[in-house]
Structure formats: C-alpha cells, structure tokens
Copies of this chain bind each other. A is one copy, B any other.
Amino acid sequence: MLFNFIPREFNFFDLFEKQIDCAIEAAMHLKEIVRKGYVDEESLKKMQDIEHKGDEAAHLIIDRLNKSFITPFDREDIHSLAKEMDDIADTINTIVNRLKVYKVTGADKNLIEFASIIEESVRTLAIAVKGMRNMEHSKSVVEACVEVNRLENVGDDLRDKVLAELFENEKDPIKVIKMKDIYQDAETVLDICEDVAHVVGSILVKQA
C-alpha cells in the first residue's frame, strides 16, 4: 500500500471545530423554528445548508484520515468523533424535516424546552471539543463532558415526562405517532452529544 504523505501538521482540530460550529448553528436554528412554530421552505433550506456544511467537514476529516500517516490521536477516535459530531446536525435536521413532513404546526412548549437543552448541550460540547487543542486545559474539558452527561439525563427525564403526558392527554392516535417520533429524536440528539463527550473523554485519558 502506498501512502500519500500529508504534512504531519495537517490540522484535524480546525475541522472538528468547524463540525461543532455547524452543530451549534443547527441547534440555534432548531430553537428558532420551534419557537416560531412552523417550518417554511426558507428554514428547511437553511437547515439543509447547515447539515451539508457539516457533512463536508466530516468527509474531509475521513478523507484526510485515510491519507494520513501520522494523526494527533488514535485513528479510530478521530473517526468516531467525526461521525458522531456529524450525527448531531443530521438528527436535528431529521427533527426539522419531520415537523415539515408531518405538518406539525404551533409552538409546542415541550419541544421548545428540548431545543433549549440541545443548544446548551451542544454549546457545552464545543468547550470540550475546542479544549482538545490544548490539553493543558483538560480540567475544563472534563467539566464540560460531565455537564453534557448531566444534560443527557435531564433530556431523559423530559422525554419520559412529555411522553407520559402525550399518552395521557392526546386522544388522536395520529398526533401521538407524530409527536412521539419528534420527542424521541430530540432526546436522541442529547444521546449523541453524550457519545461525543465519551469519545473526547477517552482521548483525554489516552493522552494523560
């Protein structure tokens, strides 16, 4: 096998930061949409553009990884990190797409709450991801990862609460089907953030 030698200073960190910035943008856009209470063509397009930008960064990371001989940390960790971060904007895009396809309209207070927690989690994750550049700041990285874990638990409790309410109060089964999907996707975003935090944590341990 021949390697295309890439200068060893090829900067994975720049691309990880680009990915997490896309995730923040996606989270902010979701919050805006659920507050407004509907998805128009423009919002849908904007969401797809954000997801596309994130995809490009992820593909570039994988491509460089495949061509690089020397990497700043374990290859499989770089791969997981790129893939999991990509899943954040992807899953937020799924939520927005479902709102559109299912024609869900009206500001839903539960969804607004989910969107706030998602934004908080993604912003906290950004501290962890950006902190990897300089492992002297590992204390703040660890704290951010712990906080992302905490927010995942908050999300679990919120999902349980809103699903219990949905099954208790909503008599239209079609609406139950729709909102159940959307709430579960929202909780999935928080699960993915937790997965990213685990990868970051595991990189930290190996560098210690």
| Residues of chain A whose beta carbon lies under 8 Å from any beta carbon of chain B | 1-2, 4, 62-63, 66-67, 73, 76, 97, 100-103, 160, 163-164, 167-168, 173-174, 176-178, 180, 202, 205-208
Shortest beta-carbon distance, A21 to chain B, in Å? 23
Q: How many copies does the complex hold?
A: 3
- In the complex, 28 of the A-B residue pairs with CB atoms within 8 angstroms, ordered by the A residue number, are A1-B73, A1-B206, A1-B207, A2-B208, A63-B205, A66-B202, A66-B205, A67-B205, A67-B206, A67-B208, A76-B76, A97-B160, A101-B160, A101-B167, A102-B163, A102-B164, A102-B167, A103-B164, A103-B167, A103-B168, A167-B174, A167-B178, A173-B173, A173-B176, A173-B177, A174-B176, A176-B177, A177-B180
Q: Which residue of B lies closest to A184 (CB)?
A: B181
| Smallest beta-carbon distance A170→chain B, Å | 9
A206–B103 Cα distance when bound, in Å, is: 44
CB of B208 within 8 A of CB of A62, answer: no
Q: Which 5 A-B pairs have CB atoms at the shortest separation, nearest pair first?
A: A173-B173, A66-B205, A101-B164, A101-B160, A66-B206
Residues of B within 8 A of A202 (CB): 62, 66
